[in-house]
A and B are shown apart, each in its own frame.
Chain A
Amino acid sequence: MSMLNEGRPTRPDQAETAAPATATGNRALMLEEALIFEIGTADTTGVDFAPAPKVAPRLAGLERRRPIGLPGLSEQEAVRHYTRLSRQNYAIDLGVFPLGSCTMKHNPRLNERVARLSGFADIHPLQPVSTVQGALAVIDELAHWLKMLTGMAAVAMSPKAGAHGELCGLLAIRAALEARGDARSVVLVPESAHGTNPATAAFCGYKVEDIPANADGRVDLEALKSRLGPDVAAVMITNPNTCGLFERDMKKIADAVHAVGALVYCDGANFNAIVGRVRPGDLGIDAMHINLHKTFSTPHGGGGPGSGPVVFSEALAPFAPLPFVEKNSDGYHLVEEETAEDHHGGSFGRMVAFHGQMGMFTRALAYILSHGADGLRQVSGDAVLNANYILRSLEDVLDAPFGATGPCMHEALLSDKGFAEGFTTLDVAKGLIDEGFHPMTMYFPLVVHGAMLIEPTETESKAALDQFIMALRSVAQRARAGDTTLRSAPHHAPRRRLDETQAARKPVLVWAEPPLPEAAE
């Protein structure tokens, strides 16, 4: 049925008025959505099953006796619930997502398609290896690329994410040191490091000591050298570092660390800046994790899953974890467990139940093959170009603490210096939300006051960058001018600023049935 033009107004004839509140709380396409516990019932379901065979249960007398308390929704209700919720999220698919250190680049949809091929998605990790030769080939092919791109001797594929990769690297280092009878107790970490670095070192039983940065935002080589000694097991360095700068002295650092018998761990979170142009193996690094969910574009999914393969130098390769894939004349094999008959050098053992993040391997391999050696070199080039373009387009309105030291790598670091009294980095971030952008990483790295770390990645067009720069310049100028409306931003998001203090003081982590209203007299 078409809508008739007769008998109805065809142009707005009312003067602009303030928007009234709605009865539902909805605002046209912006729909509020209650919790499943408020809209579902225990008797509703969105899945039909064949009837269960009539058998006497053999559940050892442990049949569930009490209700679980799980609400169900019909399929349409469920589709609406999650579709409405999804619309309250910002995402790369919507616009620039310049979270420094997180590498929020485009997630190609081909990668989603290949990961869902039944030959990858529907195979069990304990199937006979003769039935999963193609899966092992994917792992082997991806491993080959990672070794070639990093110039390293070996790679452990099983770590589940970046921090898990750090754990893998440090366990290999510790195993290697123990193998030479050299117990050491200290891991040195620059103060600009990701929080996972010191947490990982402590998790492995090491004492963590900070190393200071110099005025150029890099590791202070002399301070590091003066702390090195026979008690130091490893140095964990992020390169490019979390200030978005290349550690120019990396090779000298590695040489000094090796000279005292210690090893170099590199946090590879920022590998996107150098992929195809610099091989960490040429810089003296012994172990480095690679976040497939950063450099190689597997989707972040609102907080994972990630994947954190770790490349190793010759010195550490024998200590890599189980399981691993081997190839010989009759195909691929999986070395799963250390057994009495079957020793694998100094492997430090297993760190996850199965073989790692297969679903991420297929996606990352599709990404790598799509780019090839030439495309990956262009990735790092464009990523660094985009970051420098942002840095130089903003440094007249935002303080760039290391802007004078030369070009940045893949991310631009700015600070809150010059804001009006009482205005903070948080205000700028929330102002950007109103402008339709995801904010940058804020208050990290800790070495810069009110830090704003902007990583555009290579997949943003110049037009998108120009619009982002225009928006951030405007918000920065409001912060400098003391525009108080910025203090209460965001004004246009699904929620205003949320009270994190209340959330932490009286944690409500699960839904509870609200108390029944007092019975009426």
Chain B
Amino acid sequence: MRYLPLTDADRSQMLHRIGAPSIDALFADVPEAARLSEKIPGLPDHASELAVERHLSALARQNMAAGEVPFFLGAGAYRHHVPASVDHLIQRGEFLTAYTPYQPEIAQGTLQVLFEFQTQVARLFGCDVANASMYDGSTACWEAIGMARRITKRSKAILSSGLHPHYVSVAKTMARFTGDELVHETPRLEAATDADALIAAIGKDTSCVVVQYPDILGRIGDQSAIAAKAHEAGALLIAVVTEPVALGALTPPGEMGADIVVGEGQSIGVGLQFGGPYLGLFATQQKYVRQMPGRLCGETVDAAGQRGFVLTLSTREQHIRREKATSNICTNSGLCALAFSIHMTLLGEKGLRELAMLNHGLAVEAADRLARVPGVTLLNDGFFNEFTLVLDRDARTVVRQLAERNILGGVSLGRLFPDAPEIGHGLVVTVTETCTSEDVEALAAALEEILA
């Protein structure tokens, strides 16, 4: 076995020092009845690198890779070009094969990256501080709701109808067990966000309002009025950003009064990967730092007075506080945070703004072209790189017909909201810098054919 270095001679020498007759004898504490005397039957034996690569490559070829076809999916996961140097750097063994930086003297690389990452995320979101990452956007969103409960000592959260339905599902799953009350409705196919309804729903028992920006239909709404009303009632505003590239062009939620901003960082540096691993982003304002979940990296000095970084405020965390911790999270998304941070450093302010305006410009052109297809209406007034088309029929079928023509044309609202047939004509289309005008033309032509 190529990964197992011990030889039989090594094993017998080692057993001799241990004073055991065999490796099996080391398992004497396992009750006889539970100890397998042979390898588990019905499973293949070890395989060469070539054989394994061949098998998995064959499975990979059974998938339609986004880069091979016109591709317009978003709805919480976005395809952007990731510079070659990002993947090169995250594959350096010193990053890839390191553990959580519990011994800071020999983990300054990871720690400095986390400190830089926290600063990048806080600045992008318009917040004071950010943590060192969560699993993904959906779990970060639930953690934010829990944090709002701890701060306000209230347990009724109002979720915008524009919040990603999977994020809503995750919150509902958890709320069943924690006793939180969640208020939520299915979105309507309207150009305006549900800001007015949210403001009307805020009361003295509200812990938080959760809005997505841009929302699941691609709409963009000013959050200032929601924040003002929430704060007046003693509640928090949580903003969810599933496409952080948008904040290269848009005013960040932290500047509009959001108390906690969480997000999915996948679109910068991480890639699609069929849904994971992704990168939960979590930022808040200074006064709430000690209620934050997850790991935090902080600056300090060493015994010689040199600047260095350590994991800090761990008295919030499970390994110290056990059942009183702010979260049970331990392993997070370190390597994805590194990828995000490298990509963001390569972009810089200038690159991120250019990328954002390129996405927006291409999306505007594509929206106008697609809206000219008979049977298609553009729902949005405002949007960033994602918008909703209202078709003259159920969009689920149309998506399948597009796939048969080797076009991945968008995400149908029927897939996202299977229990809401009244919005089943909606198709969420995303246009990033990876989409060419030929791609848009192919989608428009195919829609013309299918909807004819």
Tell me whether B129 is interfacial, beta carbon within 8 Å. yes
| Chain B residues bordering chain A, tally (CB within 8 A) | 213
Tell me whether B291 is interfacial, beta carbon within 8 Å. no
Chain B contacts of A356 at CB under 8 A?
Answer: 275-276
A86 to B108, CA, bound (A): 8
Query: Are the CB atoms of B103 and A304 closer together than 8 Å?
Result: no
Query: Are the CB atoms of A52 and B354 closer together than 8 Å?
Result: yes
**Number of A-B residue pairs with CB-CB distance less than 8 Å in the complex they form:** 731
Query: Are the CB atoms of A461 and B6 closer together than 8 Å?
Result: yes
Known: A433-B103, A462-B13, A496-B105. A45 touches B299 (CB 8 A): no
Chain B contacts of A516 at CB under 8 A?
Answer: none
Query: Are the CB atoms of B325 and A199 closer together than 8 Å?
Result: yes
Residue in chain B with minimal CB distance to A107:
B97
Query: Are the CB atoms of A99 and B99 closer together than 8 Å?
Result: yes
Residue in chain B with minimal CB distance to A274:
B30
Binary contact track A36-74/B, C-beta < 8 Å → 1, others 0: 110011111111011111111111111111111111110
Query: Are the CB atoms of B110 and A46 closer together than 8 Å?
Result: no
Query: Are the CB atoms of B321 and A302 closer together than 8 Å?
Result: no
Residue in chain B with minimal CB distance to A365:
B56
Within 8 A of B (CB), among A63-112: 63-73, 75, 78-79, 81-83, 85-94, 97, 99, 102, 104, 106-108, 110, 112
| Least Cβ–Cβ distance between A123 and chain B, in angstroms | 5
Chain B contacts of A382 at CB under 8 A?
Answer: 4, 6, 11, 23
A503 to B93, CA, bound (A): 28
Chain A contacts of B105 at CB under 8 A?
Answer: 430, 433, 490, 493-498
Query: Are the CB atoms of B106 and A433 closer together than 8 Å?
Result: yes
Chain B contacts of A118 at CB under 8 A?
Answer: 60, 65, 67-68
Tell me whether B107 is interfacial, beta carbon within 8 Å. yes
A148 to B40, CA, bound (A): 8
Tell me whether B312 is interfacial, beta carbon within 8 Å. yes
Q: Which of B97, B170, B220, B383 contacts A351 (CB 8 A)?
A: B170
Tell me whether A137 is interfacial, beta carbon within 8 Å. yes
Tell me whether B250 is interfacial, beta carbon within 8 Å. yes
Tell me whether B322 is interfacial, beta carbon within 8 Å. yes
A-B CB proximity, top 6 nearest: A72-B348, A354-B275, A119-B60, A301-B335, A60-B382, A93-B93
Known: A246-B30, A384-B23, A385-B15. A43 touches B63 (CB 8 A): no
Within 8 A of A (CB), among B294-344: 295-304, 306, 308-310, 312-315, 317-325, 327-336, 338, 342, 344
Q: Which of B250, B348, B416 contacts A45 (CB 8 A)?
A: B348
Identify which of A2-10, A11-19, A126-134, A309-317 touches chain B.
A126-134
| Least Cβ–Cβ distance between A253 and chain B, in angstroms | 12
Within 8 A of A (CB), among B1-53: 1-6, 10-11, 13-15, 17-20, 23-31, 33-36, 39-47, 49, 51-53
Enumerate 11 A-B pairs (CB-CB under 8 Å) in ascending A order: A59-B382, A64-B252, A68-B353, A83-B89, A195-B322, A359-B277, A392-B19, A407-B26, A498-B309, A504-B312, A509-B129
Tell me whether B61 is interfacial, beta carbon within 8 Å. yes
Query: Are the CB atoms of B101 and A302 closer together than 8 Å?
Result: yes
Tell me whether A299 is interfacial, beta carbon within 8 Å. yes
| Least Cβ–Cβ distance between A256 and chain B, in angstroms | 15
A87 to B112, CA, bound (A): 12
Chain A contacts of B330 at CB under 8 A?
Answer: 161-163, 194-196
Query: Are the CB atoms of A89 and B110 closer together than 8 Å?
Result: yes
Identify which of A202-210, A258-266, A415-423, A471-479 touches chain B.
A202-210
Query: Are the CB atoms of A89 and B94 closer together than 8 Å?
Result: yes
Residue in chain A with minimal CB distance to B339:
A301
| Least Cβ–Cβ distance between B423 and chain A, in angstroms | 14
Chain B contacts of A94 at CB under 8 A?
Answer: 93-94
A135 to B61, CA, bound (A): 9
Within 8 A of A (CB), among B345-404: 345-355, 357-358, 360-362, 364-365, 380-384, 399-400, 403
Known: A72-B347, A357-B276, A511-B116. A276 touches B56 (CB 8 A): no
A384 to B15, CA, bound (A): 11
Tell me whether A277 is interfacial, beta carbon within 8 Å. yes
Query: Are the CB atoms of B137 and A504 closer together than 8 Å?
Result: no
Tell me whether A424 is interfacial, beta carbon within 8 Å. no
Chain B contacts of A46 at CB under 8 A?
Answer: 83, 85, 345-348, 351
Query: Are the CB atoms of B323 and A201 closer together than 8 Å?
Result: yes
Tell me whether B118 is interfacial, beta carbon within 8 Å. yes
Known A407-B20, A503-B299; further 6 A-B contacts with Cβ < 8 A? A50-B358, A134-B58, A248-B31, A250-B31, A300-B331, A385-B6
A83 to B94, CA, bound (A): 9
Query: Are the CB atoms of B344 and A70 closer together than 8 Å?
Result: yes
Tell me whether A116 is interfacial, beta carbon within 8 Å. yes
A57 to B325, CA, bound (A): 45
A457 to B263, CA, bound (A): 36
Tell me whether A153 is interfacial, beta carbon within 8 Å. no
Tell me whether B132 is interfacial, beta carbon within 8 Å. yes
A407 to B331, CA, bound (A): 30
Chain B contacts of A99 at CB under 8 A?
Answer: 99, 102
| Least Cβ–Cβ distance between B441 and chain A, in angstroms | 15
Query: Are the CB atoms of B433 and A49 closer together than 8 Å?
Result: yes
Tell me whether A517 is interfacial, beta carbon within 8 Å. no
Within 8 A of B (CB), among A336-362: 336-337, 339-340, 342, 348-360, 362
Known: A110-B53, A504-B298. A278 touches B30 (CB 8 A): yes
Query: Are the CB atoms of A123 and B274 closer together than 8 Å?
Result: yes
Chain B contacts of A459 at CB under 8 A?
Answer: 3-5
A477 to B231, CA, bound (A): 61
Query: Are the CB atoms of A53 and B365 closer together than 8 Å?
Result: yes
Binary contact track A496-512/B, C-beta < 8 Å → 1, others 0: 11111011100111110
Query: Are the CB atoms of B360 and A57 closer together than 8 Å?
Result: yes
Chain A contacts of B29 at CB under 8 A?
Answer: 245-246, 248, 406-407, 409
Tell me whether B450 is interfacial, beta carbon within 8 Å. no
Query: Are the CB atoms of A66 and B433 closer together than 8 Å?
Result: no
Query: Are the CB atoms of B348 and A303 closer together than 8 Å?
Result: no
A203 to B327, CA, bound (A): 7
Q: Which of B26, B299, B348, B399 contacts A508 (CB 8 A)?
A: B299
A82 to B345, CA, bound (A): 10
Query: Are the CB atoms of B249 and A125 closer together than 8 Å?
Result: no
Residue in chain B with minimal CB distance to A53:
B361
The residue in B17, B64, B321, B352 that gathers the most chain A C-beta atoms within 10 A of its C-beta is B64
Query: Are the CB atoms of A91 and B94 closer together than 8 Å?
Result: yes
Known: A40-B348, A126-B415. A66 touches B255 (CB 8 A): yes
A59 to B220, CA, bound (A): 7
Chain A contacts of B322 at CB under 8 A?
Answer: 195, 198-199, 208
Query: Are the CB atoms of B94 and A304 closer together than 8 Å?
Result: no
Tell me whether B229 is interfacial, beta carbon within 8 Å. no
Tell me whether B205 is interfacial, beta carbon within 8 Å. no
A70 to B119, CA, bound (A): 9
Known: A52-B358, A123-B65. A279 touches B34 (CB 8 A): yes
Q: Which of A52, A64, A301 contacts B98 (CB 8 A)?
A: A301
Known: A46-B85, A299-B96, A304-B133. A62 touches B331 (CB 8 A): no
Residue in chain B with minimal CB distance to A50:
B358
Within 8 A of B (CB), among A286-308: 291, 293, 299-307
